[in-house]
Amino acid sequence: MTDHAETGPSGTAAATDARGRVAELRAIREEALRGPSEAATAAQYAKGKRTARERIALLLDEGSFNEVGALRRHRATGFGLEAKRPYTDGVVTGWGLVHGRPVFVYAHDFRIFGGALGEAHAAKIHKIMDMAITAGAPLVSLNDGAGARIQEGVSALAGYGGIFQRNTRASGVIPQISVMLGPCAGGAAYSPALTDFVFMVRETAQMFITGPDVVQAVTGAQVSQNGLGGADVHAATSGVAHFAYDDEESCIEEVRFLLSLLPANNRENPPAAPTEDPADRRCESLVDLVPAEGNQPYDMRAVIEELVDDGEFLEVHERWAENIICALARLDGQVVGVVANQPQALAGVLDISASEKAARFVQMCDAFNIPILTLLDVPGFLPGVDQEHGGIIRHGAKLLYAYCNATVPRISVVLRKAYGGAYIVMDSQSIGADVTLAWPTNEIAVMGAEGAANVIFRRQIAAAEDPEGTRLRMVKEYKAELMHPYYAAERGLVDDVIEPAETRAVLVQAFAMLRTKHADLPVRKHGNPPQ
């Protein structure tokens, strides 16, 4: 005889009990979603900040968020923690979609323990980071926390160690983006520094290792939180922040735009996008944008705008090391990374900061299969005692190492001048550029004609009856013999001299040809780049 499910009174009781458990679960979930008191939420709003869930809603496509660990609570006792065990433990974690593509996210909830990190809080972040690495999808952190949770002692510090270890393991594997929407002090600041991009919101976000009180106690200097580690400081002075915005909405919208330009991981190519901008569009205005005279400044951004699809590009580190431009853009729908000297700032020379900025950008592009376009107009490295004592040799070598190590398609274009070691470092053919091009206005040489003539012909000039006239004649001869536009092409140092108006069409064709490029580095554990 076949047994049947129990339908008597005890079965009814079991069903009632199950419905009760479901109702209890719903209540718990509602509590977790609701968060702390209305007063805590009002205090967050009063600071000009949104809640963690509101920020996630801005980042992800509508209705796509899947939360992980919503019911997690800390297990610490003592120091008042046993009386307060809120769900989520002060961090919301999960995954969703950005432009239809998977992205993992965690967001500190400042309303709970000031967003401070404890054992359970860290475990949730570790979990979502591991999931992002395993799934091969970008990770975005929305930071708004007061550092380690003091009541949990060394357990909190160990939690940070786990985050740093995973940041490092994910480096070059998946894109990691840190969005600073509140305070980030002490050891917590090292996690954003390990990621690929750092966004900050003015006034509400600060990053520093030691706060203003400690700085004053140790050095006597008085400084505000924003003066010490605000968005503008890190975007323009320290170079810690790649982007700075006035409000959370525009900041997070730009994060979404950046994600649209990046691949999900290092095994994929960046997503292509349809464009109505013709691949063979002539750029007639380039002749007028770039003066023929090498000492005349111009805005390299206007050149980039003319070349790329629809004139749209995302500049990285826009306000730091302004003598070099690093940007992400598209050519014929395909993502490229652009590195370009900026003659409007320090005449476009390379210095310590510019070398570091460009080196990191080149490494990022190479890690994520983004082809690199280099636009040269560089008079050399910045001379000076401060630069030499600051290690310009070591820092310049970082950029050289990054280019030499890069295996993605690389194309360089000499717009105007390219002198000395700076020319070599800026992805010349001799360090592995796949295609090297030049405009008819190019001057590729060891140094400018004036300096070269003064060195080579100094005795003749000194002995001449008319030193100034002799010097000018020697300068003219040097230019005619060694700096004419076709000198480098005649010796195979550039592949072709092209009309400026043809640049976009030539670049599109060359990058299309290089799309199947495959290059292997020697087998090794890792290189030892200059630091």
Catalogue the active-site residues. 186-187, 421-422
SS3 of 115, please?
helix
1/7 Cα distance (integer angstroms): 17
A 10 A CB-CB count for 82 gives 11
DSSP state of 337: E
What pairing do the DSSP bridges indicate for beta strands 91-98 and 66-68?
antiparallel
Question: Following CA atoms 237, 241, 244, 248 in sequence, which dihedral angle do they give, to the nearest 10 degrees?
Answer: -150
Q: Which two tokens stand for residue 388?
A: 């030499």
Q: Which two tokens stand for residue 70?
A: 């919503």
Determine contact, residues 141/106, Cβ cutoff 8 Å: yes
Helix-strand-coil split of the chain, %, nearest 5: 45, 20, 35
SS3 of 143, please?
strand
Nearest to 160 by CA among 179, 174, 141, 132: 141
Work out the burial of residue 79: count CB atoms within 10 Å of its CB; fewer than 13 is exposed, 13-18 middle, 19 or more buried: exposed
Amino acid at 138: P
CA angle 505, 293, 482 (to 5 degrees): 85
164/170 Cα distance (integer angstroms): 10
Q: Which residue reads 């310590």 in tokens?
A: 352
What is the C-alpha R_g of the chain? 28
First to last CA, the chain: 79
Q: Which two tokens stand for residue 99?
A: 């432009």
